[in-house]
Each structure stands twice: as C-alpha cells, then as structure tokens.
Chains A and B, each alone.
Chain A
C-alpha cells in the first residue's frame, strides 16, 4: 500500500535476468584477468577495507570514511557481478542477505549468487548513475539508477531500474544485508 500517484504501465523488456547492475566497459578487464586473479584482487581489497575499518573505529565508522568504503564495496559488487565471480561477491554479502529482483522474486544469498553465475554472460553493458550513499552510524544505504543491455536467449534486451542496498557494519566489516531492484516503467 505504498504506491501512490504514479502511473502503471507494462514492464517493457520482460527478460528475467537476475543481474542487476555493473559498470560498462569492463569486458577488457574481464578478458585480461582470470576469475582466480579477480578473486584475489577482491579479497585483497576487502581485507584492506576491513583493516581500515578496524584501525579507524571498529563499531562506529567515521561517516565520510564509511561512505568511501561503501562506495568501494559497491564497485567491487559491480565488477564481481559482471564477471560472474560469485566467490568474490559472496565476501561482501551477509549470509542473511535478502535480494528482491526486478520481477519481485525474493532470493537468498545462495540463490542470488547462483543467478549471478548464470546470467553474467548475457550482459554487454551495464552502467550505474546518480548513486548516493547515506551513513547512519553502523547502517548505510546506497541508492542508484542502473541501465543494462545484453542478449538473452538470442534476444537483445535493454532495461533501466533503480535499487537500494542496505549495508551494516558488523565487527568492523561492512556487509550488505538487503538489496532490491525495481524496473523503471515509462
């Protein structure tokens, strides 16, 4: 009962890809680096982020520092998702994470990671824009718009959507506990 005044139209593209977003122009990056190397890079970045959190203030991160870390984690998410690197993605998602996909389906962490592996090869471009991060103590929210294009089952698709990710600082490490994608209807 939250919908209010906006119009209701068709979804447009009905591709059921579970991939939400990732930056464009990463195909070269992907081709140069194996998944194993990517995982090491991501793991290193995460260790660095975790150590930085511990060194600064384990339980109540400085707001601007926290925002920087959250944005870095969002970038890691994008690269990992585009590369289909579920192992790297798993490191930044809370085990209890819930993911609401574009079709309204509710996915657990394991289900989401499985979909990432299945659908990442479909992606050609994916761009996030108008991203904003808001930190409230040990909780942070990231809101953004994404545009994605690719080919699924031989058919080209193009979509635009919006998401909110909710991050929590647990034992000095930020992890995502909830994420939701909503297609933009025009």
Chain B
C-alpha cells in the first residue's frame, strides 16, 4: 500500500502518456514520492531514490550519509502531520539535474509540535535511466 506513490513516480509520465514523460516531470514526481515516503516513515520507498554516496545536510546543519539518513527516516521520534510543497523548479543538465524548492511541514517531534518552512536544493544523477539523489540540503526560511 505504501509503495503506491513510488510506483507511480517510477512510472513517470505514464499517467499522461509516454510523450510527456520529461525529466522535469519525472523528477517532480520523485520529489513528491520522497516527501510522502518520509511522512509515512517508509524507508523501503525512500531507499531506491538515493545514491549510496548521498550527502544530506538537514535544516539544522546536521550532516548525514545515506545510512544515517535512512535511520532517521525510520525513527518514531518524528511525525509529520502535514507536508505541503509550495514550489519546485527543475533544471536539467544532461544526466544531472537540480531541483530547488520550498516546502512547509507541520508535525510533532519528541512530543512537541513544530512548523517549518524550508528551502532545499537536491542534486540528482541519471544512472542507467533511473534518477537518484546524491545530495540534498535544506535551510530554514527565517527572513
């Protein structure tokens, strides 16, 4: 059940016809799938989206590798009640791409509620036809 969104994302533009399956469309679908999988703490759905060499910098400056990030995804200390993507812009450079976006998240952490608005940059590489994220960084929007 939890995998449905990832299957849709992997299928790319199949919902709209193969001709419209652009890298931009696919990457946005993968970003949405990633968000939903984290919300559900579904590590199995997140794992194939990430390169093994992932560098992840969280909004508080914490640096994680893929293993550390996957552990945090599965943690029960966090529960995101609502995640809203406000914007995403994809720039494709051949077999690499950059996604810049803003998202808003409301949830509870260690029993305490929070509301974040963050801007992120994700760097994706196309490997054998599959996009994987190799770097992701978020910064709290405080201005």
Q: Which A residues form the contact surface with B (CB < 8 A)?
A: 1-9, 11, 14, 16, 96, 98, 100-106, 134, 136-139, 141, 143, 160-164, 166, 168, 177-178, 180-185
Size of chain B's interface in residues, with CB distance under 8 A? Answer: 53
List 9 additional contacts besides A103-B139, A104-B117; criterion CB under 8 Å.
A1-B38, A4-B73, A5-B72, A5-B78, A8-B60, A136-B96, A161-B61, A178-B123, A183-B139
- CA of A2 to CA of B85, assembled, Å: 12
Partner of A106, one of B53, B59, B117, B119: B119
Q: Across the two chains, which residue of chain B brings its CB closest to A181?
A: B139
Most buried by A among B55, B109, B117, B121: B121
- CA of A109 to CA of B118, assembled, Å: 20
Partner of B59, one of A3, A134, A139: A3
- CA of A113 to CA of B43, assembled, Å: 40
Is residue B83 contacting chain A, with contact meaning CB distance below 8 A? yes
- B48-62 vs A, Cβ < 8 Å mask (1 yes, 0 no): 000001011111111
Task: Report, nearest first, the 9 A-B pairs whose CB atoms are least far apart.
Answer: A104-B141, A184-B61, A4-B72, A1-B35, A185-B60, A139-B96, A1-B83, A5-B72, A103-B143
Partner of A166, one of B56, B58, B135, B140: B135
CB of A136 within 8 A of CB of B55, answer: no
For B72, list chain A residues within 8 Å (CB): 4-6
CB of B57 within 8 A of CB of A168, answer: no
- CA of A7 to CA of B116, assembled, Å: 12
Total of A-B residue pairs, C-beta within 8 Å: 157
21 A-B Cβ contacts within 8 A?
A1-B103, A2-B59, A2-B118, A3-B60, A4-B75, A8-B59, A14-B142, A104-B143, A105-B143, A139-B93, A139-B95, A143-B135, A161-B61, A177-B98, A180-B137, A180-B139, A182-B57, A182-B59, A182-B138, A183-B61, A185-B60
- CA of A96 to CA of B61, assembled, Å: 25
For A105, list chain B residues within 8 Å (CB): 119, 141, 143
Partner of B60, one of A7, A98, A106, A137: A7
For B137, list chain A residues within 8 Å (CB): 100, 162-164, 180, 182
- CA of A98 to CA of B100, assembled, Å: 8
- CA of A100 to CA of B143, assembled, Å: 12
For A137, list chain B residues within 8 Å (CB): 95-96
- CA of A40 to CA of B142, assembled, Å: 38
- B64-107 vs A, Cβ < 8 Å mask (1 yes, 0 no): 00000101110101101001000000010111101010010100
For A3, list chain B residues within 8 Å (CB): 58-60, 78, 105, 116, 118, 138
CB of A177 within 8 A of CB of B91, answer: yes
Partner of B142, one of A9, A103, A168: A103
Q: Across the two chains, which residue of chain A brings its CB closest to B100?
A: A98
